[in-house]
Amino acid sequence: MAARPKADLGDLAVPKQEPAAVSAPAPAGHDAKTYAHTLSLRLTAEQYRRLRRYVARQEESTLRRMTHQGIIETALTEFLDRQGG
């Protein structure tokens, strides 16, 4: 029986690169944003239900689509502005 060739794991490895900036689809009437970092936010079940109810009420009253991302970005920006950050 012939010896099996040994694989070089270096051939399988992909070199790590800096993450490319991600361009998010822009809502109608807004410029696209370029994102450099991604954060995760953990919510309790109640927080998530409240967020969903808020989005539903806002969409119904304004007849405009809203995203959780947009709401969280707005809240963070307002918070940082108030804090002087």
Is 51 within the bounds of a domain?
A: yes
Is 79 within the bounds of a domain?
A: yes
Is 10 within the bounds of a domain?
A: no
DSSP one-letter string for 43-64? --HHHHHHHHHHHHHHHHHH-S
Give buried/exposed letters for 41-55 (b at 16+ CB in 10 A, else e).
eeeeeeeeeeeeeeb
Is 48 within the bounds of a domain?
A: yes
Full domain range(s) for residue 83: 41-85
Question: Distance between CA atoms of 21 and 84, rounded to whole angstroms?
Answer: 26
- The model's pTM is 0.56
**Domain count of the fold of the chain:** 1
Is 57 within the bounds of a domain?
A: yes
Higher local confidence (pLDDT), 21 or 44:
44
pLDDT tens-digit map of 59-77: 999 999 999 999 999 999 9
pLDDT tens-digit map of 34-51: 888 899 999 999 999 999
Tokens for 44, please give them.
């309790």
Question: Distance between CA atoms of 36 and 17, rounded to whole angstroms?
Answer: 13
